[in-house]
Amino acid sequence: MGENPNIAMLVTLLGEPSRAAILSYLLDGRYYTASELAYIAGIKPQTASFHLAKMIDSRLINLEKQGRHRYYHIHNHEVAQTIETLFAISPPPVIKSLRQASTLKNLRHARICYDHLAGQLGVKLAESMVANQLIVQKETEFVVTSSGEQFFSEWGIDLLKLKKQRRAFSRTCLDWSERQHHLAGALGHAIANHLIDLGWIVRTDKSRAIRVTDEGIMGFKKHFNLNLD
């Protein structure tokens, strides 16, 4: 028996297509009802409830009750990172419809990975910050340089406050669609929130995909030398 025999149980849970679809949708970091997740996965509500209970028992997701309503959410950012990494080493999905192709294209372009920016935009933003010497990649983390500290301070992000959080400050996250790293951790979360507050990106209602606004196109070019036209 291995040191962690329960890994087989985890793989079995993630290997079920409906559960994988639910977890993929929950990677946007928001809360959803069982009915919404059943519709997304294309299964009956009773079947969704069964799968959700399994994932709660395995601590993959959390349940939060608000009055009569029950909402489900990814357990934490470690679970989200693990799922994202599994996507990165999995074979690409088989495209069966125009709608699926369009959805996948939007997700590849820019999306939210639990609480930080991912997709082509997330990878390009990390590469730009490295090229502009704001951050330096060292193994599994990004280190903010002295120039980066000044930049983030002037841009409106409090690095000292972020470093006090009980989570990784600035780590690499393997992007499943780009097979390269984007920036995660407390800093990645703060950057994503700041981009939303600035109106550079907007979240969609029914997908993890995000849209870059006209203000965002100008802002990314001005501050990060990114051409997104």
The DSSP code sequence of 143-183 is EE-HHHHHHHHHHT--HHHHHTSSS-SSBEEE-TTTSSEEE
Tell me if 172 sits within 8 A of 141, measured CB to CB: yes
Residue 203: C-alpha distances to residues 21, 43, 102, 112 (Å): 19, 25, 16, 8
What was the pLDDT predicted at 3?
56
Q: State which residues of the chain have pLDDT below 50.
A: 1
Interior angle at CA 14, CA 11 and CA 15, nearest 5: 80
What was the pLDDT predicted at 1?
46
What was the pLDDT predicted at 138?
93
Residue type (1 letter), 152: F
Instruction: For the full predicted model, state whether its pTM sits above 0.75.
Output: yes
What was the pLDDT predicted at 5?
55
| Extents of the domains making up the chain | 7-75, 98-224
In words, the CATH class of domain 7-75 is mainly alpha
Contacts 24+ apart (CB under 8 A), 59-68: 60/13, 60/23, 61/23, 61/26, 64/31
What was the pLDDT predicted at 195?
97
Give the pairing of strands 69-74 and 111-113. Answer: unpaired
